[in-house]
Amino acid sequence: MAATTTIPRIQTIGLGWYLFAVTPRIVLYGPRVMPLTEKVGRALRVKRLAFEVVEPASAEDYRRLSPETGLLPVLEVDGTRIPDSAAILDFLDGRFPDPPLVSSNLRVAREQRRLEQWIDQTLAFYMLRWVRALIGPDVPLPVAGGGFPAGSLSKLGLLDAEGKIHSEVFDPPAGGPGDEFRRRLDDLEQMLGSRRYFYSDRISRADLSVCASLSVMYRDAYPGARARLAERKALFDHVERVLVETGGAEPI
């Protein structure tokens, strides 16, 4: 009896040490509310990798946490820091290939990467242009942290002293980034068609990018946002599907 209880205990301890030795320590640096942070967090979940999130506590933290570019997110794996969300996803596919974040079909993979790039740049552009219009062209923009970080959010005065996006950014009376942005949502819905995921039947980095950007609308971050998304049912269902499959609707 004693033997049967002792042996499993030793095995358990052995397994614990083994897991400790092979499990990398992964830290995701970035504000949880920002889509690019969410995209990386959901990619980690697709790969079933445990990670911690560390949010910047000051504008100065952008420089400290991301010395190369001053921009977040940054991923740290066993002490190595990787900036840029697309480069992080490439790194994850190289180091933890299963399941992959991109199709094995090269033509499909190219489309998925192209869409990811388009989302990360275009939707951010509409958001920033909208916010600039809300602020008004003549208002001098406060810059957090004495000029740092130096990215577009900071230049627009959108980051507060804690490095967080000012809450009023998502509380406008006008209700959204405008007609052109809505037309881009229509484009996206058309691109999706009747598929479960973009260009594929398996989730990819393109889906993570779309979902992370539109989850802001799904969570009704500005008045009417969720209703606008719901007008495009296929797109709404896609966002919801990806959220459910990557740990739920809350920011990571």
Ligand X SMILES: N[C@@H](CCC(=O)N[C@@H](CS)C(=O)NCC(=O)O)C(=O)O
Instruction: Name the site residues for ligand X (rule: CB under 6 A).
Output: 34, 36, 62, 71-73, 84-86, 120, 149-154, 159
Shortest approach of ligand X to residue 232 CB, angstroms? 24
Shortest reach from residue 4's CB to ligand X, in Å:
53
Give the whole-angstrom CA distance, residue 170 versus residue 223: 8
Tell me the two tokens of residue 252: 């990571």
Q: Kindly tell me which of 156 and 239 has the beta carbon lying closer to ligand X.
A: 156
Q: Is the distance from CB of 207 to CB of 242 less than 8 angstroms?
A: yes
User: Residue 73 or residue 177: which is nearer to ligand X going by CB?
Assistant: 73
CB neighbours of 135 closer than 8 A, spacing ≥ 6?
141, 156, 157
Nearer to ligand X, 88 or 185 (CB): 88
User: Quick one: 44 or 232, whose CB is closer to ligand X?
Assistant: 44
- Which lies closer to ligand X via its Cβ, residue 62 or residue 199? 62
CB of 82 to ligand X, least distance (A): 10
Least Å distance, CB 233 to ligand X, is 28
Residues 6+ apart with CB under 8 A from 7: none
Cα 3–chain centre separation: 50
Could you give the C-alpha distances from 181 to 164, 198, 215, 229, in angstroms and in order?
24, 19, 15, 11
Residue 41 near residue 47 (C-beta atoms within 8 A):
no
Residue 151 beta carbon to ligand X: minimum distance, rounded to whole angstroms: 2
For the bound state, the minimum distance from the C-beta of residue 150 to ligand X, rounded and expressed in Å, comes to 6
Helix (H) or strand (E) holding 81: strand 80-83
Residue nearest to ligand X (CB): 151
Query: Smaller CB distance to ligand X: residue 55 or 111?
Result: 55
Taking the CA atoms of 221, 226, 229 and 233 in sequence, report the sign of the dihedral they define. Answer: positive
239, 211 Cβ separation under 8 angstroms: yes
